[in-house]
A and B are shown apart, each in its own frame.
Chain A
Amino acid sequence: MSTWRRAALAMLIGLCPATAAPAFDALSPSLPTNYSPPDGDTEGGLWMASRQAEEEIAHSPRRIADAALETYLRDILCRLAPEYCSQIRVYVVRTPYFNASMMPNGAMQVWSGLLIRMRDEAQLAAVLGHEIGHFLRRHSLERARDLETKTSLLTLFTLGLGGAVAAGGVAPAVAQGASGGAQLAALGSLFAFSRDHEAQADKYGVQLMAKAGYDPAQAAAVWRNLVDEQNASGEKQDGSSYFFATHPDPASRLETLGGYARELGGQQTIDAGQAHARYFAAVGAHLPGFFADELHLSQPGRSEHLFKQLLDAKFAPGVVNYCLGEVSRKRDGGKLSDAALAYYQAALGYPDAPPEAHRAIGLWKLKAKQLDEARQHFTAYLEQAPQAGDRDMIDYYLGLTEKAP
């Protein structure tokens, strides 16, 4: 969006609220631009801990070092907070739970489980906007000062726990002992942002996304998706219940976010189609790996809901249909089921069908003793995936299809 339009929009937001809705009382940053705190004080300590945590993330084996993906995410952050663009760095971490967090020094981490739960760029902008909200309002500093009155933060840093204070996030303890440092996550929950901070970050996030030209209604949609997924899972003790435990009640949050969106009105200037294409271009190549991580969580109810949503959103239909086949097969106790087979066959109707769809049908047919079809599918798999790590095993199955009478 051009500068004048952004300025005009800011004026609209600031001075001319939509007539039907109450005025939106806009937030402003407490963090100066191009700021770096003096060493030695509380904020200096926080930044030092952040730099250490950032160093660990940068060298983590879970980091997805894809410069194009990082640039894509950073571009969204810069659209949301252009004045702070030069202070922001993004790291993508391969962990199959919903989380993003921003450290006080401007280092942000985004987990792969979050990326597969976004339907478009506006939803991603909503989550990133929420995190920038914490960053611009220096919530970590407020939290640290609050803790200082209860205990000596210096002691925390000496014990190496400072990073936990530095690395709070959308869902610091979203994963039960999972991910980017289980201890860090557990400690993060001790030092979670207050509900006031969360509410403020929610509001700031919607404000920033609307100003940048995204549909502000998508902020509520993010949480609605998560609530639906949780309800569909029928599973209690898992990552997302931690998420709900550390965050404001999702129902009231949805309502509040929806209210902000109505107050801010529909000033969308970002082309939704182009944004979707950009999002897919950045994330697409990683989807098979991210989906495989989701499947390894062995939570079929939740996974099935997620993949069906992605199918509705016409998101990588070949890969998603294959994953639905996998979920369906596992949920049916690994038994042969028509539902699973139908998904695998549907996958093959799309150009992005993974070779593994052929393998899955081949295994099915081999068990059902439909040997000619098994052979065809195993052969197709090896043709499409000549470097497959299970090549020798598939050759062994091919031998079985020939020996039989």
Chain B
Amino acid sequence: MSRVVFILALLLLTGCEQYQQVKSGRNEVGSFSVTTEAPIWNSVPSGHSPGSLPTWTVDGVTLNSLSFVSGIKDGSPLVTVHDKSKYPVFHSDMLPNEIAELVQSTVARLFTATISRTGELKPLTISGQPGFELEFEFVTDDEVIRRAFVGGTVKNGELQVVVFQAPRMHYFEKDFGHARDLIVSAKLP
């Protein structure tokens, strides 16, 4: 579906005040300050976003989403949901391996997905802080293989993570470059 058709569909379905096109340049989302070069992103109303997280999309949340998980304190899950007890929680002394697993368990629960490839975990500096980048794959219950790219760090004991995910076929590669640039250059206060 072309973006024009998609946005028209959104306007018809949800009313124009809900989805907002994200302007080029610097934007504040949660604790993050991020820069977008191309005006491809639309912010998703919280009622439509996975886990009620601040989320952006290019083609709709089932085709790609960029979710900002910010300011997660010790003892809290990553998502805002009513059945919180079902979700694993963050601890401020977690090492990147443990955070990677926390993100994957959260994704598995949120999307009723199976993690099909644990993927790669590497060090990454975000906003001058030592952090990590993670890439993995999961299969959702619509039988689609999706790929996720995650960048994150722990600053002042709080977890700050951005998750980009899209179907492995076509959609992930299409916007991965934009998503990665945005994540790598994100700034935290």
Binding site for B on A (CB under 8 A): 56, 60-62, 94-96, 175-182, 237, 292-293, 295-298, 330, 333-335, 359, 363, 366-367, 389-390, 392-393, 396-397
Contacts and interface: CB of A to CB of B under 8 A. Distances in A.
13 contacts: A62-B139, A62-B143, A94-B114, A176-B112, A179-B112, A179-B141, A292-B118, A297-B109, A334-B89, A363-B98, A389-B118, A390-B120, A393-B96
Contact of B97 (A176, A296, A333, A359): A359
Interface string B97-121: 1101000110011001011101111
Instruction: Name the residue among A60, A180, A298, A366 with the largest chain B CB count within 10 angstroms.
Output: A298
Given A61-B139, A296-B105, A330-B88, A392 B112 contact: no
Interface of B: 75, 83, 86-89, 91, 93-98, 100, 104-105, 108-109, 112, 114-116, 118-123, 132, 139, 141, 143-145
B165 to A, nearest CB: 15
User: Which 3 pairs between the two chains have the least Cβ-Cβ distance?
Assistant: A390-B121, A296-B108, A392-B122
Instruction: Name the residue among A96, A389, A397 with the largest chain B CB count within 10 angstroms.
Output: A389
Contacts of A182: 112, 141
B121 A389 contact: yes
Chain B contact surface mostly: mixed
Chain A contact surface mostly: loop
Contacts of A397: 95
Given A61-B144, A297-B108, A393-B96, 6 more contacts: A178-B112, A179-B112, A182-B112, A292-B118, A293-B115, A298-B88
A61 B145 contact: yes
Nearest to A57: B143
A96 B105 CA distance: 13
Given A177-B141, A292-B115, A390-B97, A298 B91 contact: no
B120 A389 contact: yes
Nearest to A395: B123
Contacts of B143: 56, 60-62, 180-181
A298 B118 CA distance: 17
B91 A389 contact: no
Contacts of A180: 141, 143
B12 to A, nearest CB: 25
B117 to A, nearest CB: 8
A237 B122 CA distance: 37
A212 to B, nearest CB: 32
B97 A363 contact: yes
B141 A181 contact: yes
Contact of A333 (B75, B100, B120): B75
Contacts of B112: 175-179, 182
A175 B112 CA distance: 9
Contacts of A95: 114
B154 to A, nearest CB: 13
A335 to B, nearest CB: 7
B130 to A, nearest CB: 8
A237 B84 CA distance: 13
Nearest to A178: B112
A334 B139 contact: no
Given A296-B108, A298-B109, A366-B95, A178 B86 contact: no
Contacts of B75: 333
B91 A335 contact: yes
Instruction: Name the residue among B87, B100, B114, B119 with the largest chain A CB count within 10 angstroms.
Output: B114
Contacts of A393: 96-97, 121-123, 132
Contacts of B105: 295-296, 298
B27 to A, nearest CB: 29
A392 B123 contact: yes
Contacts of A179: 112, 141
A390 B104 CA distance: 14
Given A60-B143, A61-B145, A178-B112, A298 B95 contact: no
A363 B100 CA distance: 13
A284 B91 CA distance: 33
B41 to A, nearest CB: 28
Instruction: Name the residue among A60, A181, A296, A335 with the largest chain B CB count within 10 angstroms.
Output: A296
Given A62-B143, A296-B104, A363 B116 contact: no
B88 A62 contact: no
Contacts of B100: 390
A298 B116 contact: no
Nearest to B118: A389
B95 A389 contact: no
A367 B98 CA distance: 12
